């Protein structure tokens, strides 16, 4: 497997791990200790502790960005374009995603926390754009 494909696998795993270790732990600990019923976690209303609500949003961010990166990996594989720059950019996506999620969950939404979180998102965005440009130019 190529590095971009490995990173895709890692991002998928990170998405699942984020779900299990934050939202899953919160919900199941409440259910299993009798503090909540199965139906007490509505998807259309804010509920739960602040960090839990941030965890739900962080997981949604992972889910939202996964198809963007997956599309890039599909094009990389279909086009046969390869190289160390694409590999480094793929690693950059992962290096931005993991700390963005951690900051999102672990820190209350202060200006500093949101700024740090956005910086990690911006790293991913720049990597996405650079990968797209490299693919488009190589196809030209």
State residue 46 phi and psi, 5-degree precision. Answer: -65, 140
Stretch 44-49: mean pLDDT: 84
- Which tokens belong to 80? 């046969």
16-27 pLDDT, tens digit each: 999 999 999 999
Residue 17, SS3?
A: helix
Q: What percent of the chain has pLDDT over 90?
A: 86
Q: Is the pLDDT of residue 51 over 90?
A: yes
- In order of their start, the domains of the chain are 3-139 (1.20.120.550)
Q: Give ∠ CA 12-13-17 in degrees, rounded to 5.
A: 120
Contact 62, 18 (CB under 8 A): yes
Measured CA to CA, the distance from residue 74 to residue 79 in angstroms comes to 8
Q: Check: pTM over 0.75? Answer yes or no.
A: yes
Question: How many other C-beta atoms lie within 10 A of the C-beta of residue 121?
Answer: 17
Of the pLDDT bands very low, low, confident and very high (cuts 50, 70, 90), residue 120 is very high
User: How do residues 78-106 score in pLDDT, each as one tens digit?
Assistant: 999 999 999 999 999 999 999 999 999 99
């Amino acid at each position: 497997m190529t590095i971009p494909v490995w990173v895709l696998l890692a991002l998928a795993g990170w998405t699942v791990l984020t779900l299990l270790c934050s939202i899953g732990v919160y919900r199941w600990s409440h259910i299993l200790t009798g503090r909540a019923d199965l139906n007490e976690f509505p998807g259309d209303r804010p509920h739960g502790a602040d960090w839990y609500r941030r965890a739900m949003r962080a997981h949604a961010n992972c889910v939202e960005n996964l198809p963007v990166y997956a599309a890039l990996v599909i094009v990389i594989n279909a086009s046969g374009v390869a190289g160390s720059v694409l590999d480094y950019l793929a690693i950059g996506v992962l290096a931005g995603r993991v700390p963005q999620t951690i900051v999102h969950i672990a820190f209350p939404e202060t200006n500093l926390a949101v700024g740090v979180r956005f910086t990690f998102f911006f790293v991913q965005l720049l990597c996405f754009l650079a990968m797209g440009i490299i693919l488009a130019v190589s196809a030209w």
